[in-house]
Amino acid sequence: MSELNRVPLFPLETVLFPHTMIPLHVFEARYRELVLYCLEHDSPFGVVLIREGEEVGGEVEPYEIGTLARIGRLRRLEDGRFQLLALGEERFRIRRLHRGLTSYLQADIEPWRDFPPFSPEEQQALTQAVADAFTEFLRAALEPYGLRTSEIRLPDDPVMLSFAVAGTLQVSLPFKQYLLELQDTCERLRLLHLVLQEVAHAYETTPFDPDHWPGFFSSN
C-alpha cells in the first residue's frame, strides 16, 4: 500500500484481521457495484467495523481502523447476488471518508502497522506462550473428534500469529476492534494469552462443544 490510497469500503458488524478469511453474501445493490468495481480494477476493499448504523441499508459511521480485503473465491448467483471469500491483507487508517461519489462509501487511507518491539526478547517469549496456549486449546478441542493438531501450522511471525489467534477467538466486537487497532504486538499477545488462559480454565470444567461455546470460539 502506498502512503495514501482511495479504496471502496464495506462496513460490517464484524472485525476482519490481516491473514484471516471472511465469507460474504453480497446482496445489496451498492455492494454488488463494489464487488464489480474490485473485479474490474483488481482492487482490494476496506472492511471496517460499524460504529453507528445498521449493516443493511442506510448510512453508517465506521471505525477509522480497518483491514484491506481481496476477493478470493467468488460465485455469482443468477439474481446478481455474490457469494465470496475474501482474504484480509494489511490494516489501514481512514484519513478522509467520501460519501456520494458512488453508491458505496470510499475512503482515502494510509497504512496502520505495529511499532518495532521495545524488547524483542519479551516479544519472543509472549509469542511462544500464545502459540503453546493456542495449540493446547486446539488439542483439547479437536482431538476428541479425531483431528490431529500436529497437522496445524501456526505462523512463526509474532504479528501474524497474534492476528490468526485474534481472528479465531470469539470475543466482543469492541475488544476485537481494540486488538485490531493496537500497534503494540506485545500488548496484543499479552491480552490474547490472558483470554486463552481463561478459555483453558473454563475448559477444565466444561468439555468443548461448539454449540455451547459461542463466547470463545468462532464458527466462521
Is 83 among the domain residues? yes
Which of 3-7, 70-74, 141-145, 199-203 has the highest mean predicted lDDT (pLDDT)?
Answer: 70-74
Tens of pLDDT along 14-34?
Answer: 999 999 999 999 998 899 999
Q: Tens digits of per-residue pLDDT, 147-168?
A: 776 667 889 999 999 999 999 8
11 plus 104 within the same structural domain: yes
Please say which residue of 76, 111, 146 terminates a domain: 111
In a domain, 42, yes or no: yes
Q: How confident is the model at residue 143 (pLDDT cuts 50, 70, 90)?
A: confident
77-131 confidence digits (pLDDT tens):
888 888 999 999 999 999 999 998 999 999 999 999 999 999 999 999 999 999 9
Residue 54 included in any domain: yes
One domain, residues 46 and 89: yes
Same domain, 88 and 163: no
Residue 73 in any domain: the answer is yes
- Specify if 218 maps to a domain: no
Which pLDDT tens digit goes with each residue over 192-201?
999 999 887 7
Instruction: Examine the pLDDT at 210 and tell me if it is beyond 50.
Output: no
- The total of structural domains in the chain comes to 2
Residue 56: which pLDDT band, with cuts at 50, 70 and 90?
low
* 31 and 102 share one domain: yes
Domain that holds residue 180: 120-208
For residue 43, being part of any structural domain is answered with: yes
Q: What is the pTM of this model?
A: 0.86
Q: Residue 208 is inside which H or E element, if any?
A: none
Residue 36 within any structural domain of the chain: yes
- Report how far residue 208's alpha carbon sits from residue 143's, in angstroms, rounded to the nearest whole number: 11
Do both 185 and 149 map to the same domain? yes
* Whole-number Cα distances in Å, 7 to 42, 92, 151, 215: 11, 10, 37, 33
From 111, 128, 152, the end of a domain falls on 111
